[in-house]
Amino acid sequence: EAGVAQSPRYKIIEKRQSVAFWCNPISGHATLYWYQQILGQGPKLLIQFQNNGVVDDSQLPKDRFSAERLKGVDSTLKIQPAKLEDSAVYLCASSLAPGGRGNTIYFGEGSWLTVV
């Protein structure tokens, strides 16, 4: 079974530039998450989708971050304009719809962003 796919793996941009990250979840997983993980910290949820609807985006800095999942499958996270403090790993994860025991989330390898 293919895992969660993310691209690009690494990106270096200057502050005030824009960047976009792409994620393709595990086939059949209705729930998709974007997390931000700053070095030495735990992942912080940015946005959660259920199919193509947003369930939670309360911690997404909406003045500069946007995300979409138009067809309920793959998703794009965009940052514009980037700030130095956005340097982090952006982790995409997916899970089955609610129900059943377990239903853990599965992470992609992450997109490493450095803003200089």
Partner 1 sequence: GQNIDQPTEMTATEGAIVQINCTYQTSGFNGLFWYQQHAGEAPTFLSYNVLDGLEEKGRFSSFLSRSKGYSYLLLKELQMKDSASYLCAVRSPQQNFVFGPGTRLSVLP
Interface residues toward partner 1, by CB under 8 A = 31, 33, 35, 40-45, 48, 50, 55-56, 91, 93, 95, 97-98, 101-110
CB nearer to partner 1: give 74 or 109: 109
Q: Are 19 and 66 in contact (CB under 8 A)?
A: no
- Least distance to partner 1, CB of residue 6, Å: 9
Shortest distance, position 60 Cβ to partner 1, whole Å: 13
Nearest distance in Å: CB 80, partner 1: 25
Q: Strand 10-13 to strand 111-115: parallel, antiparallel, or no bridges (unpaired)?
A: parallel
If the CB atoms of residues 79 and 110 are measured against partner 1, the closer one turns out to be 110
- In this structure, are residues 46 and 32 in contact, taking their beta carbons and an 8 Å threshold? no
Least distance from C-beta 31 to partner 1, angstroms? 6
Nearer to partner 1, 20 or 112 (CB): 112
Q: Which is nearer to partner 1, 10 or 85 (CB)?
A: 10
Cis, bond preceding 81 (omega within 30 deg of 0): yes
- Rounded Cα–Cα distance for residues 59 and 1 (Å): 31
Beta bridge partners of 54: 49
What 3-state DSSP class applies to 18?
A: coil
